[in-house]
Amino acid sequence: MNVMKVTIKCRQFQCHQLFNSWALLSSLPQMVGVVGLEIHAQIQSTSKLFSGSHVRFLAPPNSLVSHFDASLPGTLPVLNRRCVEAAVLTGLALNCTINRKSLFDRKHYFYADMPAGYQITQQRVPIAVNGMLVYSYFEGRRRDQVVTKSVKIKQIQLEQDSGKSLHDDDQSQTLIDLNRAGVGLMELVMEPEMCCGEEAAAAVRELQLILQALGTCQANMAEGQLRVDANVSVHRPGEPLGVRTEVKNINSVRHLAKAIDYEIQRQMEVLQSAGKVLNETRAFDSKSGNTIPMRDKEGLQDYRFMPEPNLPPLFVYESEASVPAGVDPAQVVVIDRLSGQLPELPSVKRTRLVETYDILQEHSFTLVVRKSTFNLCMFVLWHTFPVLGSNFPISPCALAELINLVESGHISSSTAKQVFQEMWKAPEKTVGQIVKEQDLWMINDKEELQKICKRIVNSHPEEVQIIRGGNKKVLNKLMGEVQRETKGRTDPVQIRAILEKMVS
């Protein structure tokens, strides 16, 4: 009987403890996510950061490698001014302070695809600091509420890219392609001020649009021109930030949002079950939607940073008047000159569209997201706005169908202008009818494109010889011939890739 009483009391005590623990947890503030981003943007330049090697996507492996890229003894870096100007232009667009003097450093670590054993970067004094990125995204159940936020940019630094490791599982070997080694990068470090995947994705989308408008980076994530590392932690408001994990090399905006939201939820569940979040590097598995461990970061890696001995300090000048006597202003980077080159930025363009054409704010985002859509819609507005008060013959549904065909890649933007003119003349016809009657569909069949390009190459032997002699500009003539033969129904990027392969 006494044993039963003791057992009952023990259980009552345990239940009381559990109730108190539950009550304490329920009274605490809800845990929230904290997200910071590190973004590597490949600079849009014809040559690499410290060598004259060309930069070209999908070139044959190791076909674009100089002696410096391969780290042969006695080779020295020569700084590419175009890359410096791109970094300064990007910094100005993001409201950064441009350091008039910045420094280069060596960051030592071993990768098989980094033959020098170190990366040239800017650790101590980067080229730009203390910036701000303003971004917007849709919120609410109907996704019709535009929320605008901002995130601080700690710094923008210039650095060189590594090569690429190609894993051959069938042969159980890894091959090295150094085409990418030495390509110029801008690393943009954002402060941990975002709270979820949706915010981070919106920030990266806005950054993509800004870089594309500036012409400093094509920002195509599928081709590795923009790579994102997300630093994620959770904590309760008012408490110190939690232990962070780093999700590396996320290659799409959609995957970025999913990876961050998954990682926030995973860390919350670990802490709620009295576990411990590890300071580790993780990768995102797009098939499962999960993040998976890559390596722990408990032991602080010693990169042995040291000043780069082969590069002097990098100076940029406020104006041509501030350039030292005896120095040619055309040979240095001048901030005032670059400020004058700043284009209309995406946020300004959206505001202008809303104010000028009285469209909804959410529609302005659609127009500015893609250049082809924007150009087409501006064409429509330019030609129809003066007569909107009269009988407008084209229905909104027909216009939407036309834009969808451009967005889906079924017709080109130049073809869309032609179709629009036909729609105006014959509004009773559908878009599909006009495109079919005039045979305006894009040619996407690879075999057909190969045959067309082969005919053009065979019929222009002199131009091919000039291209093989090093004059790549003549390739534009061959591209023009293809466009002429196909009536503009081919993708120029795809055609260039096919022609380059044929004439190489």
Tell me: the pLDDT tens digits for 53-80?
999 988 999 999 999 999 999 999 999 9
| 10-19, 87-96, 135-144, 215-224: segment of lowest average pLDDT | 10-19
Span 36-44, average pLDDT: 98
Highest mean pLDDT among 134-138, 210-214, 300-304, 381-385: 210-214
| 7: pLDDT strictly greater than 60 | no
Residue 264's pLDDT is 97
CA distances (Å), origin 378, targets 2, 142, 373, 396, 406? 88, 27, 8, 15, 14
Residue 408, classed as helix, strand or coil, is: coil
Q: For residue 374, give every residue at least 6 positions away whose Cβ sits within 8 Å of its Cβ, in sequence order, or none.
A: 367, 368
The two three-digit tokens of residue 200, written as one number: 């981070």
Residue 298's pLDDT is 53
Measured from the Cβ of residue 211, the count of other Cβ atoms closer than 10 Å reads 27
Q: Single out the residue of 241, 237, 261, 259 nearest to residue 250, CA to CA.
A: 259
Residue 266's pLDDT is 97
Residue 391's pLDDT is 60
| 274: pLDDT strictly greater than 60 | yes
At 146, the pLDDT band (50, 70, 90 cuts) reads confident
| 97-101, 242-246, 361-365: segment of lowest average pLDDT | 361-365
Q: What is the CATH number of domain 446-503?
A: 1.10.10
Computed on alpha carbons and rounded to an integer, the radius of gyration of the chain in Å comes to 28
| 422: pLDDT strictly greater than 90 | no
Highest mean pLDDT among 168-172, 178-182, 298-302: 178-182
Q: What is the four-CA torsion angle of 475, 65, 85, 155, rounded to 10 degrees? A: 130
CA distances (Å), origin 434, targets 164, 266, 346, 409? 46, 52, 33, 16
β-strands 32-42, 184-190 pairing: antiparallel
At 442, the pLDDT band (50, 70, 90 cuts) reads confident
Highest mean pLDDT among 16-20, 185-189, 420-424, 452-456: 185-189
Span 80-99, average pLDDT: 97
At 160, the pLDDT band (50, 70, 90 cuts) reads very high
| 101-110, 246-255, 283-292, 361-370: segment of lowest average pLDDT | 361-370
Residue 57's pLDDT is 87
Residue 474's pLDDT is 82
| 25: pLDDT strictly greater than 60 | no
Q: How high does pLDDT run on average in the chain?
A: 86
- H or E, element range at 212: helix 197-214
Using one digit for the tens of pLDDT, what is the confidence trace for 290-337? 999 987 665 556 889 999 999 999 999 999 999 999 888 888 999 999
At 425, the pLDDT band (50, 70, 90 cuts) reads confident
Residue 15's pLDDT is 47
Per-residue exposure over 10-39, b if at least 16 CB sit within 10 Å of its own CB, e if not: eeeeeeeeeeeeeeeeeeeeebebbbbbbb
Span 154-165, average pLDDT: 96
| 108: pLDDT strictly greater than 60 | yes
Residue 80's pLDDT is 96
Q: Single out the residue of 57, 465, 218 nearest to residue 477, CA to CA.
A: 465
Q: Give CATH 1.10.10 domain extents, the chain.
A: 446-503
Residue 19's pLDDT is 46
| 379: pLDDT strictly greater than 70 | no
Residue 390's pLDDT is 53
At 47, the pLDDT band (50, 70, 90 cuts) reads very high
Q: Is the Cβ–Cβ distance between 371 and 346 less than 8 Å? A: no
Helix ranges (DSSP H) in 345-469? 346-357, 361-369, 371-384, 396-407, 413-425, 431-437, 446-458, 461-468
Which amino acid, one-letter code, is at 421?
A: Q
Span 185-196, average pLDDT: 97
Spatial distance between the Cα atoms of 220 and 252, rounded to a whole number of angstroms = 9
Span 416-434, average pLDDT: 84
Spatial distance between the Cα atoms of 71 and 152, rounded to a whole number of angstroms = 36
| 419: pLDDT strictly greater than 60 | yes
| 389: pLDDT strictly greater than 50 | no
At 287, the pLDDT band (50, 70, 90 cuts) reads confident
CA distances (Å), origin 101, targets 97, 132, 415? 12, 21, 49
Residue 22's pLDDT is 47
Residue 424's pLDDT is 81
At 402, the pLDDT band (50, 70, 90 cuts) reads confident
| 165: pLDDT strictly greater than 70 | yes
